[in-house]
Amino acid sequence: MNRTQILSKQQIQQKLNRMAWQIFEANYQESVIIIAGINGNGFLIAQRLTAIIKEISDINVLLTEIKINKKEPFNSPIELSLKETDYVDKVVILVDDVLNSGKTMIYGVKHFLNVPVKKINTTALIDRKHPRFPIRTDYAGLVLSTSIKDHVAVELEANEGVYIE
């Protein structure tokens, strides 16, 4: 398999720092924000963003993992550790590692529309710009034009980096 590294561990950290600052700057007047990471790498990135935001601000950040079936989000219930009342009238930041077609992200957004939230923003480390659904990233680490045949692999922890395969 032919792999090309497009982001190193250090570059990922730089992107996450910048994204955390952008989130803070857009929400500095909020007392509470919800960071909701899509299971897998999305949640790992959400954990890192939460830690950075807590370090740079006094905002109370609630972290939750969105458990969603990425292959068939429409046929499976979406689960998270927060109750619906926890995010009423709150800012929700939805986080995933890669935004490709937008399917997973839009179903994640749909879940939060069951209650009146103040605002929903979307965040992805990599935005591939292959939309099939009307969703975009508000905060992206890297916008990457790839062919639809390319696979973008985000590896966190061991062999940390972003690769095109």
Q: Is the pLDDT of residue 130 over 80?
A: no
- Specify the amino acid at residue 139: Y
Can you give the pTM of this predicted structure? 0.93
Tell me how far CA of residue 147 lies from CA of 42, 56, 93, 129, 144, in angstroms: 22, 37, 28, 10, 10
Structural domains of the chain, ranges and CATH numbers in brackets: 4-164 (3.40.50.2020)
- 56-114 pLDDT per residue, tens: 999 999 999 999 988 887 788 888 889 999 999 999 999 999 998 888 999 999 989 98
pLDDT at 101: 84
